[in-house]
Amino acid sequence: MRTTGGTRRSVWSEGERISLTSAQLQHSLLQRTASLYPRRLSALQLFDRAAKASWWNPRFDSKVLEEQFRQSSFTQTEQHFRYALLYVILSALVYALSACTVGRDTWPQVSAACLVLALLSFSFLMLTLFRNAIYRRNASILAMSTLWLVAGFSLAPFALPPSPMEVEENHSVAVGSFSICLSVLVLSYTLVGPLPLYMICIFGVLYSTAFEIMSWFVLNHVNTWTILAVRILLQLSIHILGIKIRLLAETSMRNTFYKVGQSLLVRRELELEKHLKEKMIHSVMPPSVAQWLMKNTAEDGDEQQNTANSVPMHPIQAADRPLHQLPQPRSSNQLTFRPFNMHRMQNVSILFADIVGFTSMSSNKTAHQLVGLLNDLFGRFDFLCQKNGCEKISTLGDCYYCVSGCPEPRPDHAKCCVEMGLAMITAIREFDEDSGESVNMRVGIHTGTVLCGIVGTKRFKFDVWSNDVKYANRMESTGRPGKVHVSEVTHELLLDQYHFDEVPQNGEKDKKERKTYFIRHRKITGGRHSWPRFQAPMLARIGPQLSVDAAAESHPSQPMSGSSDPSDNSHAALNTRKASCPPLSEEANSDENDEDWIGEEVVFHPTLAQPLPWHHQANNQIGNQYDLHNPIVGDAPPLGAGGPIVIPGQPRRHSSLSTLYSRKDSGVVTARSSIQLESTAVEINVDRRGRTSTSTGRSSGVSSIRGYSIFGEDPALSFRQQIRKQSDLQMIRCIQQDCADAELFVHPPVHKLSLFFKDNFIERGYRDRLLGRELYPTLASPTFTVYLCTAVALIFYFVSLVTCFMLFPTPNAVFLSFCFVASFAHIAVAMVCLREILAMRGNWQANDCFTATFRYLMKWTPLHVVGLFLLCVPILAVFSNFACDSFFNNWQASDGFCLLSFAFLLHFTNFSQVKFWLRSLFATVAGLALVMFVGGVFCDSSRCTEISRRSYLCRNSDNIIWDILVHIILTSILVWLLNREFETSLRLSFHGGWLASQDQKRMQVLKRQADWLLHNIIPRHVVEQLKTTSRYSENHREAGILFASIVNFHELYDESYEGGRECLRVLNELVGDFDELLSKPQFRNVTKIKTIGATFMAASGLNPKLRRENPHPFTHLFELIDFALAMHKVIEDFNLNLLEFKFILRIGYAHGDITAGVIGTTKLYYDIWGDAVNTASRMDSYGMPNRIQVPEHCLPVLSEMYTFKARGSMYIKGKDHMNVYLLESKKGKQLHKIPFKRQQTIPAQL
């Protein structure tokens, strides 16, 4: 939410004290840190928050983030290690069986070595399964041990002494050992343990070097310089492929981890803001009504969207779109009713209470003083209202009324109201003692049936209507000061609990009335009346030192539909705190805590987001007495468990049908509001030396935070680094709580065989992920993974061309034709990708042709076609060189053919964007084709010569074919395993980011709903100002006030038909039509204040910013008169749809100096107060039907645009005689043509 308030400097300016919401601060933090650590386009970043120079060891720039990532992703790493061990065990057993089957002389040694390797691998596997703690502590050591163990056993055959028979089969041994070497390299890069990339690269280089050296000296009969060069190129290719796979896996998981953490952090902030706004909303309506409103808002928007598209909307799509307002403007021919929430409830007790002596008390006080006293007194009543099980409806000036048994029924409703009345009388006596005033309380109670709900679509509030409500108001007005006046119905319910004095009846008229009674005293002493003396100034004494966390901790949250526990002790609860986690501020300022903090049990509040722990200066005793600034670390109830922040009670606002309700002026001031508490939770104090002040008086100074580099002695830089680190700690807490038991980083919700997402909507999102663009792409971005896979495919294609020309000096026509087509395709794909990279970096202007081509290729089907083509090209290039004559006469060609085929089979692990089973299936088909080529299926062995007897095709040995088949089977299994795991990881990363994004979007929708509901309670500009000030109270010069009454609504209202509910539905429709006018731009200065029964109250000129933007100083006054004329037009159109009844509208207008503000602490109530408000109300009360009446002092301003007719001088209650005028018509002048009169210039705000 945006902030208001004139010229506001930067958050980082010196000596400035700024209050922001946590969500705003997080957004500002990200922007500031982005400017502190700019993303350099010249050096592509691996992932968000990647450390500098981390290509050979991908890691976060924050040690705490890196440690938490390793903990969160360890389960997946452990799972990969188990798969690697299973593959090693399988390979060892298969090679042992193969050695026994072939029956070579060395088969006992080979079989024994394979069995020992399988046994050791099995022991490591059991260690991960049953001694997990040991494995966690020694994961890197076990991983490296496994690598060297497998490498050693793979090189062991070279140490065996050759036999004469094996010399003839050296070619088979050379090809088979090379296949094992490539498999070991791929395993080391992909599945074996949490080792850094540079360590794996070192191992790979050493292993490859050792293999080539041993192979060269041991198998010297079959090695040539050409074969050596080919093997070196192939090993380099496999190293590049492995590095790419490892790099993408590391960056993808880290990128997902960071996005999930960011989303959880922002979601917590949104939860905090939504939670506090819900408290404000519940101050004017019960939680059940608020839930109905927000649910109806979402359903209304969904219905309109589905109607427009004629296609059912997925629930997540509904979360993505902007929130629709409730209700939408209806067309002229649309006769459907607006959503209407009105319920008829029986057995409800209604209490009205009025302050006796209020007029004399207010006669010698200013507005601020008077409203401050009211705020104090009503705070006491709010406290008692909750304790006595009542639901506050509203305050009307000095009148306070509430109900019991509504909206939640309860059997003791009558006793609740009586106890409330008795407690109010006691409370006002205490108020007199505390403030030195002399006022009293008159209380009236009646029990009956009510209609409860809301009327209108803007500035609505929960209210009750019925004739019984009117009677309860009459009970108050006919009562006595210091007495509780109850009706006969209430008296019958409480005969056994209280002693009563019957009110004597005088005259025949009184004898026709129902009997009434005064409460004398209780028959029994109960605990309900023994409340401790209420201290209203508590919140004001705490002042700006109170944070959201302290407030929430002082009153544990409660369910929205529940009531608070009367036994809660808010003062004692402030001291509750668990010592399991140190304050984040200390962690952020101490590098030594980095290692120790990770792994400790962190108890995080599941309802409120933790505000960033920056502290205020300790400038009052409350801040020293209570640790109000540190984050909540105690156990807490679940989300939505709302409750009062400081003072218990659920006050509600009021409107009534009764004309007996006097529209008393309500004042404005607030000691501390919920939304202000939200702001102070994240206030920052920065002194002029650029240091952060804490409540203990310590300053952070210029410090170096691990993982960052401090340039010079810039204190702002150090401060920002501390902010970033504190944000990281907050993120870790969110992840530890939300993801500790979840499988967010382990198992995505996919089908076991196909790996398709179970939710078709998520599957569509996964397939379309490459079509989006990121503002700051990284290597982990989906499009950059495509670029990297394409680059690897180009390398493999280049290697295939070079090695084929080396092994087959006289290429055939098929190979040359294939090279031409494949080269053209690779160049085209490379140009498209390179063109997109240059355009993304800003080095090239965008081109529609290239962009359209790239976007088309990124679609699901074209991407699969192109990807499979690039995967198949290297091995097809090898197969296209197959010729029986050359293979019969050149054993080097047959050996090289197998070497290339085994290497290019592993290339099918590239392009993880292509479905795993497609890539694996193509690899399996290529392996079967290799078996057929080697087995001589396509050649006639009679053409063999003596020179080529060592060729596979000429030997046609079953043992050699068996050896090749075993290696192909194991390589294919490895390809299937890797492809499945890579796609699982890719889908896991997507699902984690998608869940976090959708969760955040849902929270944003709920927040927008809360915003919409909140701004229908309190004007937006008032909400914005409440964020930065402890109170809201503004004086406005020459503000316009309007009262519009439907004078004959009481004639329509009849409780004989559905208890009057349908009559209120008609009123809801009419008030809704009035509310729709407020959405029009020509009435942007007009603000609805409230509805009072059938009276509509509005004002203009209450937004200083809009007044400054107006072209004329009195634009807001002219708009209010135009609004009154529009209301007459609306009621004329509305009457056309009524049968045999016509509503009559009467409007009173005045302008003058008023005070606008919010009264209440946790129960906020926006209203205006002033003599002009009283005058406008009297203009309505003494007005004429279907006319607009104004006082004489308004004519000098309004006569510029309107014509008036004098009605004469008449007596106005409280005003003596006044000259009043009736509006006749509007002049044809345009606003900008009115001459500007300097003497009439009125400041927009004082």
Q: 210-236, pLDDT tens digit by residue?
A: 999 988 887 766 678 888 999 999 999
Q: Which of 135-139, 829-833, 974-978 has the highest mean pLDDT?
A: 974-978
- pLDDT given for residue 206 in this prediction: 94
**Dihedral angle computed from the Cα positions of residues 76, 81, 84 and 86, in that order, rounded to the nearest 10 degrees:** -100
Helix, strand, coil in percent for the chain, rounding step 5: 55, 10, 35
1022-1056 confidence digits (pLDDT tens): 887 776 666 677 889 999 999 999 999 988 888 88
pLDDT for 324 beyond 60: no
Q: Of the segments 36-50, 312-326, 925-939, which one has the largest average pLDDT value?
A: 925-939
**What's the length of the chain?**
1246
| Contact indicator for 1092, 656 with CB cutoff of 8 Å | yes
**What local confidence, expressed as pLDDT, does residue 558 receive?**
37
| Strand pairing class (440-453; 484-487) | parallel
Which one is predicted more confidently, 506 or 567? 506
Instruction: For residue 1041, give the H/E element and its range.
Output: strand 1033-1046
Helix (H/G/I), strand (E/B), else coil: 299: helix
Nearest to 1149, CA basis, from 1088, 1224, 1099, 1197:
1099
DSSP states of 75-102 as a string? Answer: HHHHHHHHHHHHHHHHHHHHHHHHHHHH
Q: What is the average per-residue pLDDT within 252-281?
A: 75
Q: Is 1026 buried (19+), middle (13-18) or exposed (0-12) by CB count in 10 A?
A: buried
Confidence of residue 318 (pLDDT cuts 50, 70, 90): very low
C-beta separation of 23 from 269 below 8 A? yes
What pLDDT shows up at residue 1000? Answer: 72
Query: Which range, of 432-446, 710-724, 930-944, averages the lowest pLDDT?
Result: 710-724
Task: Identify any residues that bridge with 1151 across adjacent strands, giving them in sequence order.
Answer: 1040
Q: Has residue 606 got a pLDDT over 70? A: no
Query: Residue 954 contacts by C-beta under 8 Å, 6 or more apart in sequence?
Result: 888, 941, 944, 945, 948
Q: What's the rounded Cα separation, in Å, for the pair 816 and 1066?
A: 85
Write out pLDDT tens, residues 529-557. Answer: 454 555 543 333 333 333 333 333 333 33
Calculate mean pLDDT across residues 911-940.
85
Residue 1223: its pLDDT value, please? 95
- Name the pLDDT band for 1162 (thresholds 50, 70, 90): low
Closest CA to 956 of 969, 943, 970: 943
- Reported as a pLDDT band with limits 50, 70 and 90, residue 674 is very low
* Radius of gyration for the alpha carbons in the chain, expressed in angstroms and rounded: 40
pLDDT tens-digit series, residues 483-495: 999 999 999 999 9
Q: In this predicted model, what pLDDT tens digit does every residue of 264-278 receive, in sequence order?
A: 777 777 777 767 666
Helices (H), 1044-1114: 1049-1052, 1061-1077, 1104-1109
**What does 484-543 look like in DSSP terms, one character per residue?**
EEEEHHHHHHTTTTEEEEEPP--HHHHHHSPPEEEEEEESS--STT-PPPP-TTHHHHHG
Range list of H helices, 157-224:
164-168, 170-190, 197-218
**H or E element at residue 1224:** strand 1216-1226
User: How far is Cα 103 from Cα 81, in angstroms, rounded to an integer?
Assistant: 33
Q: Name the pLDDT band for 498 (thresholds 50, 70, 90).
A: very high
Mean pLDDT of 1074-1078: 92
Query: From residue 845, how far is each of 771, 839, 848 by CA, in Å?
Result: 19, 6, 10
Query: For 390-426, what is each residue's pLDDT tens digit?
Result: 988 888 777 888 999 988 899 999 999 999 999 999 9
Average pLDDT over residues 878-885: 82
Q: Give me the pLDDT at residue 460, please.
A: 78
**CA–CA separation, 906 vs 971, rounded Å?**
7
Chain segment 867-879, per-residue pLDDT in tens: 999 999 999 999 9
- Name the pLDDT band for 684 (thresholds 50, 70, 90): very low
What's the rounded Cα separation, in Å, for the pair 1098 and 1166? Answer: 12
pLDDT in tens, 188-198: 998 887 888 88
Q: Give the rounded percent of residues in the chain with a pLDDT score beyond 90.
A: 27
Helices and strands per DSSP (H, E), number in the chain: 43, 18
- pLDDT classification of 941: cutoffs 50, 70, 90: low
Domains belonging to the chain, first-starting first, are 342-522 (3.30.70.1230), 537-568+602-646+684-703+714-736 (no CATH), 1032-1240 (3.30.70.1230)
* Spatial contact of 1000 and 270, defined as CB atoms under 8 Å apart: yes
Measured distance CA(609)–CA(1140) in Å, rounded: 57
Mean pLDDT of the chain: 73
Instruction: Report residue 1024 CA to chain centroid gap.
Output: 21
pLDDT for residue 1163: 63
pLDDT at 463: 87
Beta strands per DSSP E along 736-855: none
- Please give the C-alpha separations between residue 176 and each of 212, 958, 967, 970, 1214, in angstroms, as whole numbers: 14, 15, 7, 11, 108
Stretch among 405-414, 1180-1189, 1235-1244 having the lowest mean pLDDT: 1235-1244
Give the model confidence (pLDDT) of 983-999 as tens digits.
888 888 888 778 777 77
Q: Of 427-431, 442-446, 1212-1216, 1234-1238, give the range with the top mean pLDDT.
A: 442-446
Residue type, 979: N
Cα angle value 875/893/870 (rounded, 5°): 10
- Model confidence at 30: pLDDT above 50: no
pLDDT at 309: 38
For 311-316, which contacts have Cβ atoms below 8 Å and span 24 or more sequence positions? 314/761, 316/761, 316/998, 316/1001
How would DSSP label each residue in 220-281?
A: TTT--HHHHHHHHHHHHHHHHHHHHHHHHHHHHHHHHHHHHHHHHHHHHHHHHHHHHHHHHH
| Residues paired with 1165 in a beta bridge | 1159
Mean pLDDT confidence for 1106-1132: 94
List b or e across 189-214, with b for residues whose CB sees 16 or more CB atoms inside 10 angstroms.
Answer: bbbbbbbbbebbbebbeebbebbbee
